[in-house]
Structure 1
Amino acid sequence: MNDRYAQTVGFVVAGVGLAAAFLDWTPAPALAAQAAGGFAGAALLAFAARRHGSGPAWLDYAATAASAGLALAAAAGILDVSGALSAGPLVALFAGLGAVAAGAAAVAGVEKSGVRARERRTVVAVVASLAALVFGGLLASVAVAFLPEDPLVTVPVNTAVASAGYGIAGVAFVQWFDGGIDVSKPGRRDVAVAGVGVVAIFALHLAMNAVVTVFSLPQSTHGLVETAKAHPGILPPLAVVSLLFIGPGEELLARNGVQKYLYGSYSRYAAVAAASLVFTGSHVLAYTATGVPPGAVLVTLSRVFVVSLVLGVTYERTDDLFAPVVVHGVYDAVQFMLAYAAFS
């Protein structure tokens, strides 16, 4: 019999979302705060009914949908902010995402032990990713300290060494949970999945470009691209670095490490989504700069999440790093070369 722990978690998190609706949302529109409050209230009631066993099972779906509405309302509020972001929409966004996760667990009938396992593994995955970022950054800073102060040299080397650091951290993490490194001679299926992944990731890239254009959404750019505007010569080396270091290093950590670790408590596709959220979070600093509107950062991180889903699915389909490494490396390399053509 279901112990309704997931509904209890959802009830608490939805309550946080409701409280967030009464925080300061300035300069976000009042309508976004009102919508967030409405969705949070609906989620709270649905979770409460299921928590006490007095409502039908479809209320789990209703609670999850209302939680998604809370997250979307918060995102809409953030999109409209051009200056400093107040606490209200940010808290509401995280509460909405947390309530969606709780709702999904409730729909799947995951009991307390399973939910707690998801919580623990998610925290460990986040900590491992943060540790990898710090390790890679420190390794790169040591490497460039011995190089001449020329961006054409320091930027590619910094990126390559940092990515190698992420890969090393990924190997250490995999060894820690005894997951095994998923590298083998690629077969026809691996090549086919990689090919489909490349097509899919660029198709989604074009689709997201269209959405951004049609709705006039703001975007932020990667710190490397900002540097390349003044020094476009760094981009061809970065394209090579993408194939040899960025793809292998980041995928070893994000997929073979984080995603595979999350298989231990999530379903495989839920692990793809959860690992993609962790991967997206690890890119926050890369797209955040002084003066960049919060909405632009949110749109860009949403795109990173979609890209990560493709990479996660290619790994899930093959249980091997070949496909995600190829797709990731090719995607980044093409982006760098397109930027080079634009800036030169």
Structure 2
Amino acid sequence: MTETARADDAGPITASVIPGLGTALAGITMVAMLVPVRRGVDDPVVWAGVAFAAAAALAFLIRRHSDIDQTVSGSIAAGSSIAVVLLAGYALNQGTMGSVSLPTVSSSIPVVFVAFVTAGLTAGVGVADYFGIGVGGLKRRGQQVVVLTGVGFAGLFSPYLTTPVIAIPVVPFLDSFSEVQRTLANQVVGQVGMALGTVLVVGAFLKVTDRDLSFIDLRRPTLRDIVWIVGGIIVLFGVLYAISLSMQATGVESADHATTQNAEKAPEMLLVLIPLAILVIGPFEELLYRNVIQKSLYETFSRAGAVVVASVIFAAVHVLAYSTAGLGAVIASLGTIFGLSIVLGVIYERTDNLVMPALVHGIYNAVVFTNLYFLVG
């Protein structure tokens, strides 16, 4: 266990405030999961979600009003809440939303999604209680997650600023290009814009946090590192296969990446994306989400915790890319991204070398794009 995972400010306040916060969040989760039940939805998945939310609330209540070991109550609360996340996600995927109309605006909110979110927060509080992390520690971690999530989304939106600049010298020639050439040019410009935007965000982060380029973990791969690359690619595809099988077995539908839909219209774009996956997409995404975000999380989280939190952020920033279907399908796809991100995060955590996850990520994407090209080409 690393220093940041230990009880950093545990004390009497931990025994009341943290369990109290967990109880409140678990209560909200339970109420949200009960909304479909009150509307006549007799789904075992929803009932199971209610039961697990109640178990989490009960664990926090017992922890608050008795001398039960915090590792016992924390593990029960965290485990039960993770179960609610999975069950609520599955319910959303199957169309159980429990939507409630908002009185002041002409829209509604899917209450089961509220349960999905609050259950995730409850799981985090349960982990904090398990390790004896107090209010101050929870606040520091929460603030850092918010800031680094902002950094992640800055990386997502930065190409909207940089790509038009990169496109300026290309625009005068577009009229003389064929349709295929324009498609390829757009892909190259877009990926270069992404790379430049990522560099600007990373540079700004290093400047604001008073760090220099030594923060970037770049070194020549050793023979051991090559083994990590090969093993990582195998594991990455193994995880994808396992997730796909479980989704098929449970009837879970996922959303297509926007690239997949675009490739169906213009398969030629994949011929550019295949090399760019290795040269641009893998390296620059890993630079931001692993070397900057995950490494920064080492300051306040254990390394394992940093891998998980960075993967949550990585999945969250992909929401727009997968917004090609309904909410439940998007959540399923983000769950897959989260699982794949865990593998990349572990590779980086084990090697402390950006080259490793960058190559694994890039080669994985290149293989996926190649397969997609033969499917739609």
TM score, norm. by length of structure 1 = 0.91
Q: 1:240 aligns with which of 275, 278, 281?
A: 275
The alpha carbon displacement at 1:60 in A equals 2.0
Return the alpha-carbon distance in structure 1 between the equivalents of residues 143 and 320 of structure 2: 25
Structure 1 contact 105–115 (Cα < 8 Å) conserved:
yes
Partner of 1:111: 134
Aligned partner of 1:67 in structure 2 is 81
Cα RMSD (Å) of the superposition?
A: 2.4
Alignment of 1:54-133 (within 5 A): 54-57=67-70, 58-81=72-95, 86-133=109-156
Q: Which residue of 1 aligns with 2:5?
A: none
CA 1:81–1:156: 2 relative to 1, 3 Å: farther
Structure 2: tracts of 5 or more residues without a match: 1-9, 100-108
SS at match of 1:232: coil
Please give the TM-score of this superposition, normalised by the length of structure 2: 0.84
Structure-1 separation of matches of 2:165 and 2:36: 43
- Given residue 203 of structure 1, which amino acid in structure 2 is its aligned partner? G
Q: Deviations over 1:121-159 (max 9, x none)?
A: 111111111122221222124434643372222133213
Higher mean alpha-carbon deviation, 77-86 vs 57-66, is at: 77-86
Q: CA deviation at 1:183?
A: 1.1
Higher Rg of the two aligned structures: 2
* Aligned residue in 2 for 1:6: 18
SS at match of 2:268: helix
| Deviation at residue 9 of structure 1 after TM alignment | 2.8
Cα distance, 1:267 vs structure 2: 0.2
Give per-residue Cα distances to partners, 1:275-294, cap 9 Å, x unaligned.
000000000000002xx132
Structure 1 CA distance for aligned equivalents of residues 338 and 293 of structure 2: 15
CA deviation after TM superposition for structure 1 residue 212, in Å: 2.8
228 and 43 in structure 1: CA distance in 2 versus 1, 3 angstrom threshold = same
Mean Cα deviation higher: 7-16 or 313-322 = 7-16
Residue of structure 2 in register with 1:323 after alignment: 356
Q: 1:226 aligns with which of 261, 264, 267?
A: 261
CA distance in 2, matches of 1:21, 1:209: 26
> Which amino acid is 1:114 matched to?
G
Structure 1 residue 320, shift from structure 2 partner: 1.3
**Which has the larger displacement, 298-307 or 153-162?**
153-162
Change (3 A) 1:340 1:79: same
Q: Which residue type is aligned with residue 52 of structure 2? A: F
Query: 176-185 or 219-228: which moved more?
Result: 176-185
**1:88-140 deviations in Å (ceiling 9; x for gaps):** 11100011111111111211222222212111111111111112222122212
Task: Kindly provide the amino acid, as one letter, of the partner of residue 284 in structure 2.
Answer: G
Q: Which residue of 2 aligns with 1:311?
A: 344
Q: Once the two structures are aligned, what percentage of the paired residues are identical?
A: 30
Which AA in structure 1 matches 2:196? Answer: A
**1:105-184, aligned counterparts within 5 Å?**
105-144=128-167, 146-147=170-171, 148=174, 150-177=182-209, 178=211, 180-184=215-219
Cα deviation code 1:151-188 (max 9, x no counterpart): 22213321332243124312432443337111122223
Displacement of 1:334 in angstroms is: 0.7
Matched residue pairs, number? 342
Q: Cα deviation per residue 1:249-294 (whole Å; 9 max; x = unaligned)?
A: 11111001110111111100110000000000000000002xx132
Is 1:213 aligned to 2:248, yes or no?
yes
**Equivalent of 1:49 in 39, 42, 62:** 62
- Compared CA separation, residues 97 and 199, structure 1 to 2 (3 A): same
Following the alignment from structure 1 to structure 2, what is the Cα–Cα distance between the partners of residues 208 and 26?
A: 32
Structure 2 vs 1, CA of residues 272 and 174 (structure 1 numbering), >3 Å: closer, same or farther? farther
The code of the aligned residue for 1:75 comes to G
Separation of aligned partners in 1, 2:349 and 2:206? 16
Does 2:368 align with 1:335?
yes
Show structure 1 runs of 5+ residues with no match: none
Paired residue for 2:317, among 246, 263, 282?
Answer: 282
